[in-house]
């Protein structure tokens, strides 16, 4: 597969999408009279790009099948990262107001795949989530002995009290073990939290003492904090979410209002309302076909108006019609069952139970749509008409099923017509929640 450097910018009449470069990090102030504070290590951190920092913290690139052990360890780190990332996205999505960050992270992951055309780039915050997942796993492993000894000590204490015997020293040993393991975990996390840090307690202690004496520890913490902020990019994710949500609402507002006309009008106005509803159903079919690609296009280019460039989405569909059809079928095929959760307005506390399901279902479809966008941009020629037109003809009735779902939703949902605008395929990936 060709990289994005080999593309012709005139393929889609647009410049190649790139991420804005991170702002340079300010060096340590000269007020620290000790000139040795700025070591080669900290200077290297200042000049390190965010992508390079992600490779330092995370698993980096896939080593390849010729290196089976390194590849296995790479896979373990990715699994640990996903094990932390999915609950993080679900937790953010369940918090009102903060759930915009969850949508922004999904759009960012989709944009990364759209830029490169590689699925492996679709794991947002892989570096951070991998490191935190590693820390969580190692903390749990080291806490197992404490939990076991505590349980045994409590049991022996009960037996000693009932038998009238003297208490043994197992409780004292348990407290000592708790203090030692706590200090070890604290030192391991303070030295980076990598897998090796949890296996070398003496080195962690020596390194911490050395850095504190030389004054490097505080400066390194400040540098890593600023660089991690560049990796997390909360404002970038919030901007993606706000632009993506507003752009999607601009596309969905009119067709959705027309589609819901029949369910909101009195029975004596069924004739005109039916015509308006049919018009809304007709309009929502092309919107549902283009909008997933247009949201990805907006996130990739970083321009709000990019979501209205229909010609780009149509051109990508003409270049990779089969891939677009498969991704679209999966997108709406998996999104439609989630509308069942919108039949009832769940208590706010119940959102924590349903939101992980929304993330698990919507996240892969976002990545797949980003892959369709990326491969469509990289491809120069359109598919033959014998493939394009039959694919489009088949997709019209399939997308119409999605329109029918939106039409029926107000009749079965407690939220009424508002449920039609809670479109988790394009907006916030959360169920309907209203009760306290």
pLDDT digits (tens, 9 = 90+) for 392-436: 999 999 999 988 888 887 777 766 667 777 788 888 887 765 544
Predicted TM-score (pTM) of the model is 0.69
Q: Is the pLDDT of residue 18 over 50?
A: no
Residues 263-267 have a mean pLDDT of 55
Per-residue pLDDT, 37 = 34
Least confident of 60-64, 223-227, 278-282: 223-227
Residue 243 and residue 159 share a domain? no
Residue 410 and residue 295 share a domain? yes
Q: Is the pLDDT of residue 304 over 60?
A: yes
Per the domain annotation, does 48 fall within a domain?
no
Per the domain annotation, does 383 fall within a domain?
yes
Residue 186 and residue 335 share a domain? no
Which pLDDT band, with edges at 50, 70 and 90, does 296 fall under? very high
Residue 272 and residue 225 share a domain? no
Residue 388 and residue 352 share a domain? yes
Comparison of pLDDT for 109 and 27, the residue scoring more: 109
Q: Which of 32-41, 201-210, 221-230 ranks highest by mean pLDDT?
A: 201-210
Per the domain annotation, does 400 fall within a domain?
yes
Per the domain annotation, does 338 fall within a domain?
yes
Comparison of pLDDT for 168 and 141, the residue scoring more: 141
3-state SS of the chain is CCCHHHCCCCCCCCCCCCCCCCCCCCCCCCCCCCHHHCCHHHHHHHCCCHHHHHHHHCCCCCCCCCCHHHHHHHHHHHHHHHHHHHHHHHHHHCCCCCHHHHHHHHHHHHHHHHHHCCHHHHCCCHHHHHHHHHHHHHHHHHHHHHHHHHHHHHHHHHHHHHHCCCCCCHHHHHHHHHHHHHHHHHHHHHCCCCCHHHHCHHHHHHHHHHHHHHCHHHHHHHHHHHHHHHHHCHHHHHHHHHHHHHHHHHHHHHHHHHHCHHHHCCHHHHHHHHHHHHHHHHHHHHHHHHHHHHHHHHHHHCCHHHHHCHHHHHHHHHHCHHHHHHHHHHHHHHHHHHHHHHCCCEEHHHHHHHHHHHHHHHHHHHHHHHHHHHHHHHCCCCCCHHHHHHHHHHHHHHHHHHHHHHHHHHHHCCCHHHHHHCCCCCCCCCCCEEEC
How many Å is the maximal CA-CA distance in the chain? 90
Q: Is the pLDDT of residue 316 over 90?
A: yes
Residue ending a domain, among 231, 256, 281, is: 231
Give CA–CA dist 244/223, Å, rounded.
32
Task: With beta carbons less than 8 A apart as the criterion, state whether 59 and 130 touch.
Answer: yes
Residue 287 and residue 321 share a domain? yes
Q: What tokens were used for 239?
A: 């901007």
Per-residue pLDDT, 4 = 42
Q: Is the pLDDT of residue 46 over 60?
A: no
Q: Which residues are within 8 A (CB) of 136 and not within 5 positions of it... i.e. 6 or more apart?
A: 80, 84
Rounded to the nearest integer, the mean pLDDT of the chain is: 76
Q: Which of 135-144, 193-202, 236-245, 425-434 ranks highest by mean pLDDT?
A: 236-245
Q: 270-301 and 321-338 helices cross at what angle (nearest 10)?
A: 120
Residue ending a domain, among 209, 231, 253, is: 231
Give CA–CA dist 130/255, Å, rounded.
42
Per-residue pLDDT, 409 = 79
Per-residue pLDDT, 33 = 37
Per the domain annotation, does 60 fall within a domain?
no
Least confident of 59-63, 95-99, 295-299: 59-63
Which pLDDT band, with edges at 50, 70 and 90, does 23 fall under? very low
Q: Which of 89-93, 333-337, 408-412 ranks highest by mean pLDDT?
A: 333-337
Residues 94-104 have a mean pLDDT of 82
Per the domain annotation, does 93 fall within a domain?
no
Least confident of 147-151, 249-253, 365-369: 147-151
Q: Is the pLDDT of residue 82 over 60?
A: yes
Residue 239 and residue 223 share a domain? no
Residue 247 and residue 203 share a domain? no
Least confident of 46-60, 273-287, 357-371: 46-60
* Tokens 């990332």 belong to residue: 85
Residue 271 and residue 327 share a domain? yes
Residue 405 and residue 279 share a domain? yes
Per the domain annotation, does 136 fall within a domain?
yes
- Say how many domains are in the chain: 2
Q: Is the pLDDT of residue 306 over 90?
A: yes
Q: Is the pLDDT of residue 141 over 80?
A: yes
Of 297, 241, 237, 285, whose CA–CA distance to 426 is shortest?
A: 241
Dihedrals phi, psi of 345, to nearest 5 degrees: -80, 105
Per the domain annotation, does 371 fall within a domain?
yes
Comparison of pLDDT for 181 and 60, the residue scoring more: 181
Residue 245 and residue 183 share a domain? no
Residues 167-190 have a mean pLDDT of 80
Residue 317: give the domain boundaries.
Answer: 234-435
Residue ending a domain, among 231, 251, 269, is: 231
Q: Is the pLDDT of residue 29 over 90?
A: no
Residue 206 and residue 270 share a domain? no
CA angle 52, 56, 61 (to 5 degrees): 75
Which pLDDT band, with edges at 50, 70 and 90, does 50 fall under? very low
Q: What tokens were used for 191?
A: 């030295």
Q: Is the pLDDT of residue 53 over 80?
A: no
Per-residue pLDDT, 269 = 57
């Amino acid at each position: 597969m060709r990289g994005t450097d080999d593309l012709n910018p005139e393929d889609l009449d647009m410049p190649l999408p790139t991420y804005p470069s991170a702002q340079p990090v300010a060096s340590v102030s000269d007020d620290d009279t000790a000139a040795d504070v700025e070591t080669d290590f900290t200077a290297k951190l200042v000049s390190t790009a965010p992508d390079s920092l992600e490779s330092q913290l995370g698993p980096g690139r896939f080593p390849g099948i010729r290196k089976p052990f390194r590849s296995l360890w790479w896979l373990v780190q990715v699994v640990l990262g996903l094990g932390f990332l999915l609950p993080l996205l679900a937790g953010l999505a369940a918090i009102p107001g903060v759930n915009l960050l969850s949508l922004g992270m999904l759009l960012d992951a989709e944009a990364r795949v759209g830029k490169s055309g590689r699925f492996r780039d679709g794991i947002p915050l892989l570096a951070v989530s991998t490191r935190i997942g590693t820390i969580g796993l190692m903390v749990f492993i080291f806490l197992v002995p404490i939990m076991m000894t505590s349980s045994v000590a409590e049991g022996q204490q009960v037996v000693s009290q009932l038998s009238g015997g003297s208490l043994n020293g197992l409780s004292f040993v348990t407290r000592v073990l708790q203090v030692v393991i706590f200090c070890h975990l604290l030192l391991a996390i303070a030295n980076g939290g990598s897998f090796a840090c949890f296996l070398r307690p003496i080195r962690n202690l020596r390194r911490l003492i050395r850095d504190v004496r030389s004054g490097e520890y505080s400066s390194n913490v400040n540098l890593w904090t600023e660089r991690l902020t560049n990796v997390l990019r909360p404002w970038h994710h919030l901007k993606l979410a706000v632009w993506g949500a507003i752009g999607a609402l601009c596309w969905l507002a009119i067709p959705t209002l027309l589609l819901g006309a029949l369910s909101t009008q009195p029975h004596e106005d069924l004739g005109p309302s039916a015509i308006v509803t049919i018009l809304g159903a007709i309009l929502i079919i092309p919107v549902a076909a283009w909008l997933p690609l247009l949201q990805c296009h907006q996130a990739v280019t970083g321009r709000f108006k990019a979501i209205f460039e229909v010609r780009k989405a149509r051109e990508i569909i003409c270049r990779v019609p089969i891939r677009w059809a498969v991704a679209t079928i999966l997108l709406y095929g998996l999104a439609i069952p989630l509308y069942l959760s919108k039949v009832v307005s769940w208590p706010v506390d119940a959102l924590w139970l349903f939101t992980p399901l929304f993330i698990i279902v919507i996240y892969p479809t976002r990545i797949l749509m980003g892959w369709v966008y990326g491969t469509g941009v990289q491809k120069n020629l359109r598919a033959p008409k014998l493939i394009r037109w039959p694919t489009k003809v088949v997709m019209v009735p399939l997308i119409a099923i999605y329109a029918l779902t939106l039409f029926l939703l107000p009749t079965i949902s407690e939220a009424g017509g508002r449920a039609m605008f809670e479109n988790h395929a394009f907006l916030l990936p959360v169920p309907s929640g209203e009760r306290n």
